[in-house]
Amino acid sequence: MGNEMNQTEANQTSQPMGRRGLFRLGSMTIGGAALLAACRKTEAGTLGRVGEGPTTPVLADPIVDNGVLLRTLAGVELSIVNAYQRMLDEKLLQGTSSTFPAIGDLTALVTTFQQHHVKAAATYNGLVTDEGAESWDCGNTHLDAAYLSPIFDRVLLGVEATDNAKAIAPSDDIVRDMVNLVFALEALSAESAQALVPQVTLATIRAAAMSIGVRSARQASLTALRINPSGYVSAADAANAQPGVTTPTAAPAAAPAAGDGPPLTEIPLPVAIASHFGELSPVIYVGGNGDENGVRLKLNFETPSLNSFAYPYNACAKG
């Protein structure tokens, strides 16, 4: 039996190597050489790799200082300026509103509001340069991308149909949605200025922010009264101020559902004085037409935070 095994091994080793075997041997030789070359260039304790790849990028530290906070607020104000400019250019405030038939044309009012925000942005940027930082001369990128662009698209264009959802028509009341957006932006400006006060380290910055915030808060109150003439305070505050007295309050604005469709999302009515003190809570915006379930677009405008700050390594888009 041993002789048979030896004869078999001799026959196997004596057979000539075919073309496939040569290719296999060549591949193994090249792969082994590359592996040895990679291992030879590595230091002890690290893994080798074949070839050269890009290094892992190192992000700058997200330092939040006076300059960053002021750049951020300048961007918020310029986003508001740009949003108002689009309303004015496209005459989005000059139509009639089925929801607020007595509101009238707010073009002149919004033009005045816009001038305030232009000056506010210049004030913030002046303080930015005083801090040795680079001014921020465009809108806040997060506010534009996450809030303003989706609102304008939903109100003016609607949403195209997809494989999973039906198309959503443009707004059933453009003037209503634009006026409510004006209120939301004025309230956002006021809240952002108020939120800035305890974050900065200089009294001069605090004073400037408070001045801007007060003006924006007054403009928000004026807009609220144009939308909701009887809405000086919330229903809860009115009841607490006069116990036992029933104060009629306006119902939220809800357009009737078209045909046999589901009811549309109610649009809350703003009030001139939301609380005893300035609020920092999200400003709720509801607008646009409803989807197949009657659900409108709903967004919560919030004061700037870590994901919306204008850090030193951020810059306005060129062009």
Q: Regarding predicted confidence, which is higher, 235 or 164?
A: 164
**Residue 261: pLDDT over 80:** no
Distance of alpha carbon 253 from alpha carbon 51, whole angstroms: 64
Residue 315 confidence (pLDDT): 94
Give the mean model confidence (pLDDT) for residues 249-254: 51
Start-to-end CA span in the chain (Å): 87
Q: Where are the domains positioned within the chain?
A: 66-254+263-301
Which amino acid is located at 242 in the chain?
Q
Residues 6+ apart with CB under 8 A from 253: 99, 100, 176, 266, 267, 269
CB 114 within 8 A of CB 81: yes
Residue 57 confidence (pLDDT): 77
Residue 317 confidence (pLDDT): 87
Residue 51 confidence (pLDDT): 65
Q: Regarding predicted confidence, which is higher, 246 or 316?
A: 316
Name the CATH topology of 66-254+263-301. Ferritin (1.20.1260)
pLDDT in tens, 29-75: 655 655 555 555 555 566 556 667 777 877 777 789 999 999 999 99
Q: Nearest 5 degrees, angle CA 206-CA 194-CA 143? A: 115
